[in-house]
Structure 1
Amino acid sequence: MTNHALSGAQVMLDCLKREGVDTIFGYPGGSAIPLFDALLDSNIKMVLSRHEQGATHMADGYARATGKVGVVLVTSGPGATNTFTGIYTALMDSSPIVVLAAQTTTPNLGKDAFQECDTSGMTFAAVKHSFLVKDPNDLSRVVKEAFHIARSGRPGPVLIDLPKDVTAGNCTASFSDEIDLPGYKIPAHADPEDVAKAAALLKKSTKPLLLVGHGAIISNASRQVKELAEKLNAPVVETLLGLGAFPETHPLSLGMLGMHGTAYANKAVLECDLIMSIGSRWDDRIVGKIEEFCKDATIIHVDIDPAEEGKILQPDAFLCGDAKLVLEQLLPLVSRLDTEDWVKTCQTYKKRYPLTYPKQGGLRMQHIISTVYELTKGKAIVT
């Protein structure tokens, strides 16, 4: 299929539809006019924010709630720079978003033109990848690659810098399903030797603890996490973004650990002889003083991002791969551990240090949250 009479902006919108985009969040401006004009003839819904940072946070929230890639559309210069806080939030929390930032015309690039800035250069430290498109015929390939990078492996934000003459100009290239990203490798299964090593370490443990992070949710590993916890008879703690990966009502659940976590989760962390992180990056909010964190415990780390190995803590075994696939490799190699006393101890801590609040007096935040939970039967998305 060849597009003889389509503008770059029209091709962009067609490419977005091919990626399953049904909603865009953004704020208009001069350099983005060709894209907003194309949106008029499109069935993609445009959500108008009051500020570009808000649009980026909205796209991030949309990505988390739907599992799809969130899309942002803003104008050049201040429009683009206003997105940085939202972009960095998505990077820190591994949230897949694509930011379409309009730009001055290509002849004006680098000449301090009206509302020009080096958007792609300025965002390099905040994104998985930045693209600056200088030819309308590259648009289809760039969109395909941008969405692939945003949603694959460890998800994250991608920015496409779009000069006005590129989106207004004619595009005659065919739609591309080709992806040419040399050096971009996505780990899947872990090295079998590393998996066997982790299984051997688990076998020796009498006080194991599973630490479940956001990576377990991103890889849809909830069923495998539950199966592993039950097979080992190991208690489970979660990070803030890992909440929901393991049922909070399960007898083995100890809730969230760290400085904002439960007392009983932190007691378990203090006393375990092995901690296995599944998709957590050992954030400082949960680790605290590194030299004191699980200092006598064996550490197993499962993560899709090889850069996480030894970044905070040096693991005894590092399993690089997709959490769901890695757990599927590990499950046949493990069996129930001698943890009856350990589980009883953890359950004693749950009773001794429960999450409570005084019911008398004024209306408390905990009371409101608890009531909302009961009224919605836990089905609501609360922001």
Structure 2
Amino acid sequence: MEEFPVRKVVSVSTSISAGHLIVAQLEASGVKRAYGVPGESFLDMLDGLHDSSISTVVTRHEGGAGFMALAEGRLTDVPGIAMVTRGPGAANAFIAVHTAYQDATPLVLFVGLIPVADRGRESFQEFDINAWFGSTAKKVVTLEDPASAAALVDDAVHTALSGRPGPVVVGLPEDILARQVEGGATVTPRTLARPAPSSSALTELTARLDRASRPVIVVGGEGWTEAAGESLVRWAAGRGIPVAADFRAYDAVPHRLDGGNAYVGSLGYARSDALAGRFDKADLLLFIGCPRGDVLSDGYTTGLNAETVVVLPGDSLGHFGRIDQHIVAGPAEFTALLPELSGGAVEPGWLPDARADYERFSTPTPEDAGRGVDLNECMAVLREELHDDAVITYGAGNHALWAARYFEHRSANSLVAPRNGAMGAGIPAAVAAGLIFPGRQVISVAGDGCFMMNGQEFATAVAYGSAPVTIVVDNQCFATIREHQERHYPGRPSGTGLSNPDFARWAEAYGGHGERVEHTGEFRDAFRRAVASGKPAVLHLLQDPDVRSPKTGVL
């Protein structure tokens, strides 16, 4: 059993239950919301939340709770908190843990467990928490001693945030959770280590930059701030260095900025061939906040041979191939020292040409939409209608290709999309984003298949006053898989068709705003009405099933 000694006392009660002490420690850690589906295995923690400053957001499914917590971890500086019960509840939440692990997003999942005396008897909803989560979480711990509850929670929060962020799973046996702790106390949250580059590391990197004629910077991961993103883009623009983003990490830096435009697009799915070519031709690759992974390297086939520098707050887990220099630092700490770095003689036109290609590729132009709505034109409308700080969410599927290619991000913390390709993440993420940032526009783009995986969380939005606008792209199939079938098994679609409800009426039945959009020209006014309603809204867009992805302007 791991020991968690009690440290400096912050608050003391003559007697407090372990469940109430956990809540008190979460308050001390700055947690504002906890998402979950209630279960009898963690009643004492729920009771502690009754009088807490932490808002308890009751969701309709554990997967929804997990994805809302994922969004909290992605958009704020604290880990997202999810609470589920044993067995089935833990199984339903597993998808969010896997997403948080592959996406490197801080999350703490509390799982109620059976009483200690019932262990090993195949009792009701019993499961092995370590065996289930041990391979896809940074840490799995179980509360064995009520007196260590506060220190255990502090360790979970610290672990989730430190180094390479990720999920921590905490097991809570229902009998231990309810036990009283005499003199129970919260502990002072540990300070998060924020390593900065050493002067020798900066000197070495400067020498590499001075030698490079075709450098490319790739940004991604967590920990980006407005200041960090803007500093990097201005510095790179001044030295003629293109800045690309990792897959679904497009909000790390501003895409358009007065005083310097160095952003040239994103790598991975929906990327342009021109950008992939430049990535592969680079003679120096500087990764900041992200490793060279599978998706951004087109399945480990591009960008493998260049001199490589990796800037990460922890280890290089997930990085494939060459590393010539590893700088241990987070994005904010690294970019704060950019003025100390010079740049070499970058090839003329290296950045301007890349930026021009990006401008062409990311500008939506009308195309033949067949018998449905033209998503290119809808994206053009949204680029005009969205605020600079709008938050965008989506799950996985071909519908996301339009959002990834055409939306501009001008502020940090403006995107929640699963980098591991988990369907069903977009709607819960949008609900959470609306609670986190009640004054900001929140837009979710969903496919019909992706929407129905966690669309029930629309009810959570109605209940708690979150008001995202969801655009449901209805093409009556799982389009990504259908596209693979057409490539490998032409003329033999199998197991990918869908039959859908009227999503607009569905939204109205929940108490939200809903409209059906069958023609492109109807979209702008429908979107404006959805925003003006002040309610969670669904715009049901009918798309030609034969349209799989944006085709125009491909570079």
Deviations 1:327-356 (A, max 9, x none): 444541314634433234324544675654
- Structure 1 position 172 matched with structure 2 position 179: no
The 1:40–1:173 alpha-carbon spacing in structure 2 relative to 1, beyond 3 Å, is: same
Equivalent pairs: percent with the same residue? 24
Equivalent residue letter for 2:171: D
Q: What does residue 308 of structure 1 align with?
A: 317
**Match status 1:261 vs 2:271:** yes
Structure-1 separation of matches of 2:377 and 2:16? 56
In the TM superposition, residue 15 of structure 1 has moved relative to its aligned partner by 1.7
- Measured after TM superposition, the shift of residue 59 of structure 1 is 0.9
Q: 2:535 — aligned with what?
A: none
Conserved 8 A contact 1:120-1:161: no
Whether 2:204 is the aligned partner of 1:197: answer yes
Aligned equivalent of 1:233:
240
Residue 164 (structure 1) shift:
0.8
SS at match of 1:287: coil
* One-letter code aligned to 1:209: V
The superposition leaves residues 186-243 of structure 1 with CA deviations (integer Å, 9 ceiling, x where unpaired) of 5612354333222111101112111111246279631332243134221111113331
Identify unmatched segments of 5+ residues in structure 2: 1-10, 392-442, 445-555
| Distance of 1:13 and 1:187 partners within structure 2 | 26
Deviates more, 1:246-255 or 1:132-141: 246-255
Q: Which residue of 2 aligns with 1:332?
A: 340
Q: CA deviation at 1:321?
A: 2.1
Q: Is the 8 A contact 2:21 2:186 kept in 1?
A: no
Residue 354 of structure 2 is aligned to residue 380 of structure 1: no
Deviations 1:277-311 (A, max 9, x none): 11122121111253x523553222211222338x4
SS where residue 81 of structure 2 aligns?
strand
Q: CA deviation at 1:51?
A: 1.6
Q: Give the match's secondary structure for 1:221.
A: helix
Aligned match for 2:58, one of 48, 53, 64: 48
Checking the alignment, whether the CA contact within 8 Å between 1:195 and 1:330 is kept in structure 2 is no
1:245 pairs with 2:252: yes
Within-5 A mapping of 1:288-367: 288-290=298-300, 292-308=301-317, 311-329=319-337, 331-335=339-343, 337-347=345-355, 349-350=357-358, 355-359=363-367, 361=369, 362-367=372-377
Structure 2 residue aligned with 1:206: 213
Give yes or no for contact 1:264–1:353 (8 Å, CA) kept in 2.
no
- Two-structure CA RMSD over aligned residues (Å): 2.7
Instruction: Please state how far the C-alpha of 1:160 moved relative to its aligned partner.
Output: 1.2
The count of aligned residue pairs is 378
Which letter maps to 1:98? Answer: V
Contact 1:199 1:330 in 2 (8 A): no
The offset of 1:359, in angstroms, is 4.8
Task: Tell me how far 1:137 sits from its aligned partner.
Answer: 0.7
Letter of the structure 2 residue corresponding to residue 217 of structure 1: W
Take 1:105 and 1:177, find their aligned partners in 2: how far apart are those partners? 26
| Higher mean C-alpha displacement, 31-40 vs 154-163 | 31-40
Decide whether aligned partners of structure 1 residues 193 and 160 sit closer, same or farther in structure 2, where only a CA change above 3 A counts: same
- Kept after mapping to 2: 8 A contact 1:63/1:95: yes
Q: Residue 316 of structure 2 aligns to a residue in which SS?
A: helix
Match of 1:71 among 57, 81, 101: 81
241-250 vs 172-181, which moves further: 172-181
For residues 272 and 337 of structure 1, do their structure 2 counterparts lie closer, same or farther at Cα, with a shift above 3 Å needed?
same
| Displacement of 1:152 | 2.6
Q: Cα offset for 1:364?
A: 2.2
Tell me how far 1:71 sits from its aligned partner: 0.9
Corresponding residue to 2:107 among 97, 102, 117: 97
Q: For 1:171 and 1:370, locate their aligned partners in 2 and report how far apart those are by CA, in whole Å.
A: 59
* 2:64 partner amino acid: G
Equivalent position amino acid for 1:343 in 2? L
Name the TM-score, length of structure 1 as normaliser. 0.88
1:45–1:234 Cα change, 3 Å: same
Judged with a 3 Å threshold, the aligned counterparts in structure 2 of structure 1 residues 376 and 172 are, in CA distance, closer, same or farther, namely same
In 1: Cα distance, 2:91 partner to 2:288 partner: 34
Instruction: Give the direction of change, closer, same or farther, for the CA distance of 1:219–1:126 in structure 2 (3 Å limit).
Output: farther
SS of the residue 2:63 aligns to:
helix
- Tell me the distance in 1 between the aligned counterparts of 2:64 and 2:279: 37
Matched residue type, 1:314: R
Supply the distance in 1 between the matched residues of 2:349 and 2:386 (Cα, whole angstroms).
37
Q: Distance in 2 between matches of 1:344 and 1:355?
A: 17
Q: For the Cα contact (< 8 Å) 2:216–2:244, is it kept in 1?
A: yes
Shift, 1:314, TM fit: 1.1
CA distance in 2, matches of 1:350, 1:42: 48
Q: What is the distance in 2 between the residues matched to 1:349 and 1:41?
A: 55
| Residues 7, 297 of structure 1: alpha-carbon distance in 2 compared, 3 angstrom cutoff | closer
Partners of 1:29 and 1:274 in 2: CA distance: 52
Is 2:13 the partner of 1:3? yes
Give ranges in structure 1 of 5+ residues lacking alignment: none
Give 3-state SS (helix, strand or coil) of 1:266's partner. helix
Whole-angstrom CA distance in 1 between matches of 2:335 and 2:215 = 16
> Which residue does the alignment assign to 1:163?
173
Q: Distance in 1 between matches of 2:352 and 2:205?
A: 25
Which residue identity is paired with 2:350?
W
2:13 partner letter: N
